């Protein structure tokens, strides 16, 4: 069964490559959003199984978006994985770590690490 993934990042190149790499597996349907302020509306419409969320975005940061998602009755059960360039892979282990109770991955993210983290979070 395919899983629905929403990728929210202000860099179109990152959302495009992430979508391509995930959809290539045949296991995911991916929607992308490059404006943090549009992430909630996109999530309500798309109803993702998991949201990949950039931490640092110019219009609304990932922390604020995740808070709004958790407060939204339609979205409160959504799984979230943060992606960030603030922390390097050397500062975490290869499969990510935790920010405020959410998994996070250091950019650039290898596709196999991304898929492993998505599967781990969805299974939990």
The residues spanned by each domain of the chain are 3-123
Q: Is 63 helix (H, G, I), strand (E, B) or coil?
A: helix
- 96 pLDDT exceeds 50? no
Enter the pTM of the model.
0.90
pLDDT 10s digits, 36-87:
999 999 999 999 999 999 988 888 989 899 999 999 999 988 899 999 887 6
Please give the order of strands across the beta sheet that includes 97-99: 28-33, 3-8, 50-54, 79-84, 102-106, 97-99
Give CATH superfamily name and number for 3-123.
Response regulator (3.40.50.2300)
Of residues 91 and 67, more confidently modeled: 67
């Amino acid at each position: 069964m395919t899983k629905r993934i929403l990728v929210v990042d202000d860099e179109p190149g990152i959302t495009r490559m992430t979508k391509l790499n995930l959809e290539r597996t045949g296991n995911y349907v991916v929607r992308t959003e490059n404006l943090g302020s549009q992430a909630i509306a996109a999530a309500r419409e798309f109803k993702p199984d998991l949201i990949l969320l950039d931490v640092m975005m110019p219009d609304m940061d990932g922390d604020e978006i995740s808070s709004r998602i958790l407060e939204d009755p339609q979205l409160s059960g959504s799984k979230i994985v943060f992606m960030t360039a603030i922390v390097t892979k050397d500062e975490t282990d290869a499969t990510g770590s935790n920010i405020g109770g959410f998994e996070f991955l250091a950019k650039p993210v290898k596709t196999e690490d991304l898929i492993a983290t998505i599967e781990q979070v969805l299974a939990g």
